[in-house]
Amino acid sequence: MIEIKEVISKREFEKFVKFPFKIYKDSKYWVPPIIKDEIESLDKTKNPAFNTAEVKFYLAYKNNTIVGRVAAIINWDEVKTQQKSKVRFGWFDFIDDIEVSKALLNKVFEFGKEHNLEYAEGPMGFSNLDKVGVLIEGFDHIGTMITWYNHPYYKDHLEKLGFVVEKQYLEHKFPFSNVNPEFFQKAQALIKKRYNLKEINFTKTSEVMPYADRMFDLFNQSYSKLASFTAITEAQKAYFKKKYISFINPEYIKYIEDKNNNLIAFGIVMPSYSEALQKAKGKLWPFGIFHLLKARKHSKNAIFYLIGIHPDYQNKGITAILFNEYYKAMAPKGIKECIRTPELIENTAIQNMWKHFNPVVYKRRNTYKKPLTKGL
């Protein structure tokens, strides 16, 4: 018999976060979170995502042993502003037992029906800046700190329970040796001269911080036309600055300004922390912090996390300037591999942007959807 319990106490949240350590303990590819940070990200008193999201967390028990977990999420900005009558589900992990996954998703359905919503979709986080998708290909590649890893049977469970594919995402990578600077060096010089632009580079995190709010404002402008977009709030800006900026090597944050010192483009690349997080085993102390600091400065793999360009400058070759600055920063560091975050399969514009580097698809992931009226 499967018993589902809502997660409420601090101790229960710790169990919720630690459950994947059990089912992936023998995996060479799963990347564990820092337990303390993950617990804080699920704390409604600390994460501003809860200002616009209503969430319930559940653990599944069988014979008094934890066998699964899930978060049921309603992003009220999405529901009210975008008119998407959706309950999300995320942090969805379970043993290979269809009764467990079914019982967990039943709680998601109950939560959605309580609020008169129409369908469930997942796995996905609180907002569009969180992790997304169940992995369906690429199980033999190490994960990243900004994606979920899962066993192959996750997809099978969702399909057996009547879910259908809603969104498809591709993950690409390419060796740094594929980067030929001739593709962008001459172009970027002409573009800077034509539009009177200048690049801004950093060597210290403290230099980045004064620009951070403007970067988030530009992010909101850059992505506002996407159908699924919800803007970053002021509270989220402060949270992201505190949580993420310090993780990024400042040399991997690039800004471009116009002649009036207006920020018109930015790029964020993160060093890969995958192996460092595996060595840390969920803990910063006593040794985890040293593995992370080493990776921050010396990782040979770079993750292209986010590029934002003001709408007035889109389709004008601004990425050539960013690519040139990243080439100058990465070449001396001996970067070996460039990795891109999940991109929607229909986003051909972003895929064309990288075509000169001959990237390959090495992972695929989906979100799955099902009407609440059909039940499980």
| 132: pLDDT strictly greater than 70 | yes
- Cα distances (Å, whole numbers) of residue 350 to 154, 307, 315, 326: 28, 10, 11, 17
| pLDDT on residue 260 | 95
Cα angle for residues 13, 18, 24 (degrees, 5° grid): 150
Instruction: Identify the pLDDT of residue 228.
Output: 65
> Whats the size of the chain, residue-wise?
376
Q: What is the per-residue pLDDT across 314-371, written as a single tens digit (0 to 9) for each? A: 989 999 999 999 999 999 999 999 999 999 999 888 888 899 999 999 999 999 999 9
Q: How far apart are CA 20 and CA 156, in angstroms?
A: 19
pLDDT at 363: 98
- Kindly state the tokens that stand for 231: 């803007």
pLDDT tens readout for residues 239-288: 888 888 877 899 999 999 999 999 999 999 999 999 999 999 999 998 99
- Given a cut of 80, whether residue 83 has pLDDT beyond it is yes
pLDDT per residue as tens digits for the range 210-239: 899 999 999 999 887 766 677 888 888 888
Query: For residues 231 and 218, is the Cβ–Cβ distance under 8 A?
Result: no
Percentage of the residues of the chain whose pLDDT score is greater than 90: 84
Whether 120 shows a pLDDT value over 90: the answer reads: yes
Write down the mean pLDDT value for the chain: 94
Domains detected in the chain: 2-170+366-374 (3.40.630.30), 176-362 (3.40.630.30)
How far is it between the farthest Cα atoms of the chain?
A: 69
Separation of alpha carbons 168 and 343, rounded Å: 8
- CA 156 – CA 161 distance, rounded (Å): 9
Specify whether the CB–CB gap between 181 and 346 falls below 8 A: no
Model confidence pLDDT, tens digit, residues 151-198: 999 999 999 999 999 999 999 999 999 999 998 999 999 999 999 999
Does pLDDT of 201 surpass 80? yes
